[in-house]
Amino acid sequence: MPLSLNTASRHRTVISTRIRNIVTGLPDVFRRWFTRFIVATGYELVNIQKLYEFDGLHTIHNPRFKKSKRFHQARERGSQASLGDSRGDWRVHVGLWAAAAAARVEGDFVECGVNAGFLSSAILRYLDWENLGKTFYLVDTFSGPVLEQFSAEEIARGLQQKVKQAIGAENYVTDMERIRRNYQEWKRVEIVQGVVPDVLPSVLAHAIAFLHLDMNCAFPETEALRFFWHRISTGGIILLDDYSYFGFDAQGDQMDRVAAELGVEILALPTGQGMLIK
């Protein structure tokens, strides 16, 4: 069984293969002695096979949500929508938790940045959607991010170029019939095609319980937050997909400025996301 040493300062040092083989080959009594010795010197033995490592998140803590059949069913439905999306389970868990909490708040759901529909499809499967009496507005160009909306800083960081490559690789879904088919099993799902912020007045929700922003570009996301802020109900949740994600510093900085204008502070999550509860 692979082992590692974890110091009190949380820096992990992997035991060499030779030492690991010696430890695992010891009789139980000596293995227990070795374990006590390690703990007494300020280290901790960790089974590295149980580490959660995906998409920049590395932790020995327990992803308890993975025990839930309901979680796996929702994640599988999201994966079906996007033909095998590989996003991290912990990010999906955060999205599902936020949506479930928002389900108890007055107002509709809005997602800006839908693409194939991974998270929104997972949410619709996760919740008792038909009995909530809410509408889910799905806002997207359905042709990829608008290249002209990237700032000079984002261009310098290579974000615009990555989007160009993704568009060229057909990673953004443009088949509107496919999008409609994906959501046809649910009622009260409104697909709103257009460029943010110009298209936002088409979102007819008077109150919003859940807002998910995932457009991979600072300008439309900050404009959407400004536009919808006064419609967000008390207790409503705003989930920012890339707020603290590696390489998206320009986006996070712009979000912080808008949050300061609104008199709120964004919770940075180790998944790379950010969250606001109004």
pLDDT in tens, 64-96: 999 999 999 999 999 999 976 667 899 999 999
Judge whether 56 lies within some domain: no
Q: 162-186 burial, b if ≥16 CB within 10 A, otherwise e?
A: ebeeeeeeeebbeeeeebeebbeee
Give percent of the chain with pLDDT exceeding 70.
84
Higher pLDDT, 124 or 1: 124
Lowest mean pLDDT among 84-88, 184-188, 196-200: 84-88
Give the E-state strand segments of the chain in sequence order: 3-7, 12-14, 43-47, 52-54, 57-59, 108-112, 136-140, 189-193, 208-213, 232-240, 267-268, 274-277
Give the count of domains, the chain: 2
- Tell me, yes or no, whether 18 and 148 share the same domain: no
| 3-state SS, residue 78 | helix
Judge whether 270 lies within some domain: yes
Residue-number span of the structural domain to which 97 is assigned: 67-277
How much is the mean pLDDT over the chain? 88
Q: Position 103: which residue type?
A: A
Dihedral over Cα of 200, 197, 97, 236: its sign: negative
- Tell me, yes or no, whether 268 and 179 share the same domain: yes
Judge whether 114 lies within some domain: yes
- Tell me, yes or no, whether 137 and 82 share the same domain: yes
Strand order across the beta sheet in which 3-7 lies: 12-14, 3-7, 43-47
- Tell me, yes or no, whether 73 and 187 share the same domain: yes
Confidence of residue 16 (pLDDT cuts 50, 70, 90): very low
- Tell me, yes or no, whether 71 and 46 share the same domain: no
Judge whether 9 lies within some domain: yes
pLDDT of the residue at 125: 98
- Tell me, yes or no, whether 111 and 166 share the same domain: yes
- Tell me, yes or no, whether 164 and 223 share the same domain: yes
- Tell me, yes or no, whether 34 and 123 share the same domain: no
Closest CA to 102 of 237, 229, 275: 237
Judge whether 268 lies within some domain: yes
DSSP string, 228-262: HGGGEEEEEEEEETTTT-TT-HHHHHHHHHHHHHH
What pTM was computed for the model? 0.84
- Tell me, yes or no, whether 110 and 239 share the same domain: yes
Q: At 216, list the tokens.
A: 């991979």
- In angstroms, the CA 173 to CA 81 distance is 11
CATH value at residue 159: 3.40.50.150
- Tell me, yes or no, whether 222 and 268 share the same domain: yes
Question: Would you say 235 and 98 are in contact if contact means Cβ atoms under 8 Å apart?
Answer: no
- In angstroms, the CA 155 to CA 153 distance is 5
Judge whether 59 lies within some domain: no
- Tell me, yes or no, whether 43 and 153 share the same domain: no
Judge whether 97 lies within some domain: yes
The mean pLDDT of 139-156, rounded to a whole number, is 97
- Tell me, yes or no, whether 46 and 73 share the same domain: no
